[in-house]
Structures are given as C-alpha cells and as structure tokens.
C-alpha cells in the first residue's frame, strides 16, 4: 500500500461561524470527520500544508491520515472542500473515515498516454477529445488506485474508446456498471475525428462579393444610361 500522507489535527469543541472565523485568522482550517458508524468529530488543521497538498491531483483520490492531538491516527479521504471565492484560502473540509474492510466509492482521474504516438495523433486535421476525464469506482482501500490509465497507442481516426473497454486493476469496479445493463450506461471516454471545416463563411463571402459585383455593374449601367440620355 502507498505511504500515507499525514496531517496533524486538533480536536475543537467550539462551533459556529464565529469559531470558524477565529480559526481562519489563526491560519487554520475547520474540518469535520465522520463515517464508519462513529460520531462525527470537529477538527482544526494547519492551513498551509493542506493548501499545498490540495494542488496535487492525488490529494482527492488517495487515502490520507489524520493524526489527532490525542495521539490517535485515522485513515480518511476528502469528501468535500470549500474554497474562498477569490483568495487562495481553504474554508472548510469534510473527511470520511476509512475502514480496511469496507469498500470505498470514490472518483479518480483518467490518465491518457501515447496519444501523440497513435495513428490518430499523427494525422493532420484530427482532434482527439476526452469527454470523460474521471470515473467513479468502488474498491477496498488496499486496492484503491490514484488514477486509471488509458493507453491510446492503437487509436485511429474515427475510433472511440468506451468506458466498458477500460482496464481496471484487480478489485476495482466502475460504479456505472454496478446496476443495469452495461450498454445502457456505457459512455465515450476518448474519440478521434477530423476537424469539421465550415465552408459557410466562405460561401457567404463569395455571395457578398458576387452581390457587390452585381451592384457595381448595375450602378455602372445606370450611370452609362444617364450619360447617354444627357447627350
């Protein structure tokens, strides 16, 4: 199992908006810890360490460890995070307890590799799109991956990679197929297609040029007729 990232945490007994504001002024983040059939606990954590960790993709799909001031350690995952609307500040976090014998439902990112080396990636005028960039899975903590890797080396123009085609590690299941028919809940993860070139604007310009020329010819004819009449 991967080494856990540990964050020190302190128990807090005060609650409410005023208490949370005081914590933030002390450069701490109010948090709540819940789950595993145990009572919720209100905590306070150091802000800067969490802010730095939150810039890493794995922070949201990995098991973390909280070391509470009473000496106990708890495995957790991040369930929710509130940020300041425009400042680089974390306002509140929700942590869920993790049990080794209990499957987790969590969303992990999809990493695409060998895109540029594929036939589609080498072809001019072809765009490879990724309609889905993460997937919700279920797994025991020991089997939890940080991401799902998708190899696009065999992708050709016109091809699509479906969710049902992804290779998940042992013990990992996509939740989309837990209930119901696979075809009904399948989705495109990646596809390669030519860029659609719109000729409408070119046609419009040509029409405008034609109309302009016709108008100019008409004006010239009118002027010529007027000159003849004047003579």
Q: Transcribe 192-231 into DSSP letters.
A: EEE-----HHHHHHHHHHHHHHHHHHHHHHHHHHHHHHH-
CATH code of 145's domain: 2.170.120.20
DSSP conformation class of 122? H
Per-residue pLDDT band for 209 (boundaries 50, 70, 90) equals low
- Co-location of 157 and 169 in the same domain: yes
- Co-location of 189 and 115 in the same domain: yes
- Co-location of 175 and 206 in the same domain: no
Q: pLDDT of 166-191, one tens digit each?
A: 999 999 999 999 887 788 889 999 99
* Res 135 pLDDT > 90: yes
CA distance 118 to 153: 4
Mean pLDDT in the chain?
87
3-state secondary structure of 108: strand
Whole-prediction pTM value? 0.78
Per-residue pLDDT band for 225 (boundaries 50, 70, 90) equals very low
* Res 64 pLDDT > 50: yes
- Closest by Cα among 95, 106, 1 to 43: 95
Per-residue pLDDT band for 211 (boundaries 50, 70, 90) equals low
- Co-location of 206 and 148 in the same domain: no
| Comparison of pLDDT for 115 and 184, the residue scoring more | 115
* Res 31 pLDDT > 70: yes
What are the residues whose beta carbons fall under 8 Å from the beta carbon of 183, sequence distance 6 or more?
none
pLDDT at 200: 53
CA distance 12 to 32: 10
Per-residue pLDDT band for 69 (boundaries 50, 70, 90) equals confident
- The number of distinct structural domains making up the chain is 3
Per-residue pLDDT band for 155 (boundaries 50, 70, 90) equals very high
- Co-location of 49 and 124 in the same domain: no
What is the domain extent for residue 78?
5-97
Tokens of 114: 């060998």
| Comparison of pLDDT for 193 and 2, the residue scoring more | 193
CA distance 39 to 36: 9
CATH code of 16's domain: 2.40.240.10
State the residue for tokens 């360490």.
49
pLDDT at 17: 82
pLDDT at 221: 52
- Co-location of 180 and 131 in the same domain: yes
The whole-number average pLDDT for the span 12-32 is 88
Do residues 83 and 90 lie in contact, with contact meaning Cβ atoms separated by under 8 Å? yes
Alpha-carbon torsion (20, 37, 97, 80), positive or negative: negative
Percent of the chain with pLDDT over 70: 84
């Amino acid at each position: 199992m991967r080494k856990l990232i540990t964050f020190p945490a302190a128990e807090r007994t005060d609650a409410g908006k005023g208490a949370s504001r005081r914590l933030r002024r002390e450069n701490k983040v109010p948090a709540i810890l819940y789950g595993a059939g145990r009572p919720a606990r209100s905590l306070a954590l150091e802000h800067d360490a969490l802010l730095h960790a939150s810039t890493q993709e794995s922070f949201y799909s990995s098991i973390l460890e909280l070391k509470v001031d009473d000496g106990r350690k708890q495995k957790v995952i991040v369930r929710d995070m509130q940020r300041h609307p425009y400042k680089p500040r974390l306002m509140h976090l929700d942590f869920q307890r993790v049990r080794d014998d209990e499957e987790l439902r969590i969303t992990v990112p999809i990493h695409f590799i060998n895109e540029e080396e594929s036939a589609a990636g080498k072809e001019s005028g072809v765009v490879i799109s990724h309609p889905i960039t993460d997937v919700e899975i279920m797994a025991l903590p020991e089997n939890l991956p940080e991401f799902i890797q998708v190899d696009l080396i065999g992708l050709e123009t016109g091809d699509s990679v479906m969710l049902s085609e992804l290779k998940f590690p042992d013990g990992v299941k996509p939740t989309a197929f837990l209930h119901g028919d696979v075809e009904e809940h399948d989705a495109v993860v990646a596809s390669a297609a030519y860029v659609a070139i719109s000729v409408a604007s070119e046609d419009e310009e040509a029409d405008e040029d034609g109309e302009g020329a016709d108008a100019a010819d008409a004006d010239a004819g009118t002027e010529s007729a007027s000159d003849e009449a004047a003579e």
